[in-house]
Amino acid sequence: MPRYSAEFIKEMPKSDLHLHLDGSLRLSSLIDMAKRTGTKLPADTVEGLKQLVFKEKYNNLGEYLHCFQYTCAVLRDMQNLERAAYELAIDNQLEGVNYIEVRFAPQLLIDLPNGIDFDRVMHAVNDGLKRAMQEYNQTEAVLSGAKPPFAYGIINCAMRMFGDKGFSPYYTNLFQLMRDFAPMDVIKLAAMELVRASVRLRDEEAMPIVGLDLAGQESGYPASKFKEVYEYAHQHFLLKTLHAGEAYGAESVFEALTECYADRIGHGYSMFIPDMITDPDISDKAAYIRNLASYIADKRIAIEVCLTSNLQTNPAISDIKQHKFKDMLDNRIATVICTDNRLVSNTTVCKEYQLALDNFDIPLKRLKDMVAYGFKKSFFPGTYVEKREYAKQCLEYFDRVAKRYGFI
């Protein structure tokens, strides 16, 4: 197995297809934004927040998700939101990432009494990303063809569940208005409102909203509950990914594929753990997993792999070599290295690649395949022909970098 240096990893072209905006702020910017809006944080220093909130290890996914109450609070200011999107694109550009798909839940940031509606939220995010893209693509390296251009898409997240705890003005108001309805019916209504608004803004204003995601607590809130929402996305050519196989097993991934037409799977590592299968009708769990993995591999349905995040939220993974990424590789599944949350997981795309390459047997050809999947399995905001041309540019650049480092 070749030894891939940090310099090579930084220089090779990369993508990040599973990247939460509200989990990827600069910590110093979070503090600055909180001061600007008068938002109270548990600490007002980088060190203090790392100790109290943004930790190296979390006890479970719920504790991990707890961090978002602070980031979402400061992002309900449109100046802060645009800044966060701009800085996120810049941070990726600085580590050689050419393409990002930024995902977040717009409804967590809506605050109608203060004039912040869906369209304002989306425009703030898009304005920040577009400004960073335009600046980068006017550099000499890009204009001369020495480096591929930077591009991005936006994925909107529907929430699997939400408690009326006052965390989100949008959901608080919605639960009050629909107090006589079952909570799941309210959540599904919000998800349908989100997908309709996403399609409208994409079609009417050519905003690069490229996909729909289903995020939040997975166990107990199956994807099948959102079948109608995903049918609407499917019928309107909005591509689809879901958090599945993160805190719930193979059945969650199966539902994402069969009920929600998933084009990609977020995380997917629990899919390979037989003990997480709960359906009593599945008697041969090993065969079920084997058949599911074979189907995913054959259909080239990419899995968005987030190694550090999985290590943090699943105490059962005590060592990176225990991660089911190895099973994905062994089953020849299309895998894409992603960060999940740069701030909450204290990571970068380069760190995630280094973690994967240092701990798993990945020869150069397989590495190039993984890089290629990041572009070819993206929800690129253009035609298929345009996506192919962009992927070709990035992979030709990969070959030039590999040759310069003596791999070719």
- How many Cα atoms are found within 13 Å in the side-chain-facing hemisphere of 244? 28
d(CA 376, CA 327): 22
- Measuring CA to CA, how many Å separate 281 from each of 47, 110, 290, 293, 344? 50, 42, 16, 19, 38
d(CA 375, CA 394): 8
Predicted local distance difference test score (pLDDT) of residue 165: 64
3-state SS, residue 198: helix
Predicted local distance difference test score (pLDDT) of residue 161: 86
- The answer to whether residue 276 sits within a structural domain is yes
């989990």: which residue's tokens? 23
Question: Which residues have C-beta within 8 Å of that of residue 58, sequence separation ≥ 6?
Answer: 64, 312, 313
Range of the domain at 395: 6-404
pLDDT in tens, the chain (408 residues): 678 999 999 999 999 999 999 999 999 999 999 999 999 999 999 999 999 889 888 877 777 878 899 999 999 999 999 999 999 999 999 999 999 999 999 999 999 999 999 999 999 999 999 999 999 999 999 999 999 999 999 999 999 987 756 689 999 999 999 999 998 999 999 999 999 999 999 999 999 999 999 998 777 788 999 999 999 999 999 999 999 988 788 999 999 999 999 999 999 999 999 999 999 999 999 999 999 999 999 999 999 999 999 998 887 788 999 999 999 999 999 999 999 999 999 999 999 999 999 999 999 999 999 999 999 999 999 999 999 999 999 999 999 999 999 998
Choose among 6, 14, 137: nearest CA to 398: 14
- The answer to whether residue 286 sits within a structural domain is yes
- The answer to whether residue 369 sits within a structural domain is yes
Tell me the pLDDT tens digit for each residue of 19-59.
Answer: 999 999 999 999 999 999 999 999 999 999 999 889 888 87
d(CA 327, CA 253): 15
Q: Which residues pair with 213 in a beta bridge?
A: 157
Choose among 352, 269, 349, 313: nearest CA to 65: 313
- The answer to whether residue 1 sits within a structural domain is no
Q: CATH number of the domain that 320 lies in?
A: 3.20.20.140
d(CA 73, CA 93): 26
When divided into structural domains, the chain yields a total of 1
d(CA 91, CA 260): 33
| CA 183 remoteness from chain centre | 26
H/E/C letters for each residue in 142-184?
HHCCCCCCCEEEEEEEEECCCCCCCCCHHHHHHHHHCCCCCHH
Question: Which residues have C-beta within 8 Å of that of residue 73, sequence separation ≥ 6?
Answer: 34, 37, 39
Choose among 260, 264, 256: nearest CA to 16: 264
Question: Which residues have C-beta within 8 Å of that of residue 27, sequence separation ≥ 6?
Answer: 46, 49, 50, 54, 343
Note if the pTM is more than 0.85: yes
